[in-house]
Homo-oligomer: A and B are copies of this chain.
Amino acid sequence: MRILALTATLLLAGCANAPAEVAKAPAPPTAPLPAPTPAEAAKPPAQLQYLYGSPEAAVAVRATNARIADYGVWRVKQRPKDSVVLAPGATMDAPAFEPCGNKPFAAVFDADETLVWNLGPMRYFAEKGTAFDVKVWDQWEKTGAGKAVAMPGSVEMVNRLRAAGITVIANTNRSAANAKSSEDTLRAAGLGEFKHGETLFLMGDDADGSSKDGRRATIAAKYCVIILGGDQLGDFSQQFNVKDLPAAQRMALATSAAATALWDKGWFLFPNPVYGPWEKLGWGDVFPSDKNWEPK
C-alpha cells in the first residue's frame, strides 16, 4: 500500500516530488508487493474501509458538500471583489487574489476523491496487493464511466450551485488525452455536463504539468471563482507543493492565518486518507519525538 499510495499521489496530486515529465511518463516497472496475508486480505485496508465504506466518512463528506452549497448560495448574494484563486506569485504570507470584476460566478473542484470516488482501481490494487500502476489508471480514465461513483452529497451540491447561477468546473490531473471519457465518467456519476476546455481542465492543457495554478489562472481570467474544492492542498495553490518543502513548513502554511481565513470560507477540503502528498511523511514527521511513550 505504501507504493500504491505514493505513486497515486504523484499521478493525481501534482505534488512537489512529481515533476510534470515524471507524472506523464510511463511508470517505471515496480516490483509487486508481497502477497497479502490471509488476515490482511480478509478485509480491505483500513483507509479504504473508512473512506469508501464508513458512515463516519459519508457523514463528513456529505456535510462538506452541504457547506459548499450553503456557502455558494449565500456568497452570490453579494458581488465579491475577489476570487478565492491566489494571484500569480501571491503567497500565504502576502495573499492577493484574482479580481472578480463583473465575471460570472464559478466553483472549481478537483475530480478524483473530490467529486467522485474511484472504487474500481482502488479495489483492484488493494485486492491484488499490487502497486499503483499508471497503465491501469489510464485504462480506468478511459473505461471507468459508470463505475466511478459520485461522493455522498456531491450531486445535490453541484445541482444547488448550478441552480444559483454558479458554473461548476473540474480542474483535475486526469490526462487531456482522455478528456472525452472523463466527461463521460462525470456525467455517468450523475454530476452533469463537463466540457473539456470550458468546464473541464486537465493535465496537459498547458505546460505546467501537474501544477494546477496555470489552469486556475485561466479559469479565474474568465470567472469570479467563489469556491475551490479538493482533497489535497495542491487543489488550492501550488505553493503547498513546492519541491522539497519541509513537512513543518507545509503544515505552517496550511494552518497560517491567511489560509485559516479561507478554509470553509471559499476553500473546502474533503477527507482522503487513501492517498495524498502526506505519504512521504516518516515516523519523525508524524510522531514528534517529545511525545514518544512506551509502556513499562
Contacts and interface: CB of A to CB of B under 8 A. Distances in A.
Contacts of A271: 56-57, 60, 271, 273
Contact of A39 (B3, B67, B272, B285): B3
A51 interface: yes
A104 B127 CA distance: 52
A189 B19 CA distance: 40
A254 B46 contact: no
Interface in A189-245: 231-233, 240
Interface residues of A, number: 85
A65 B114 CA distance: 22
Contacts of A291: 119-120, 147, 149
Given A34-B37, A127-B283, A254-B58, A43 B272 contact: no
Contacts of A259: 59
B269 A59 contact: yes
A287 B52 contact: yes
A123 to B, nearest CB: 5
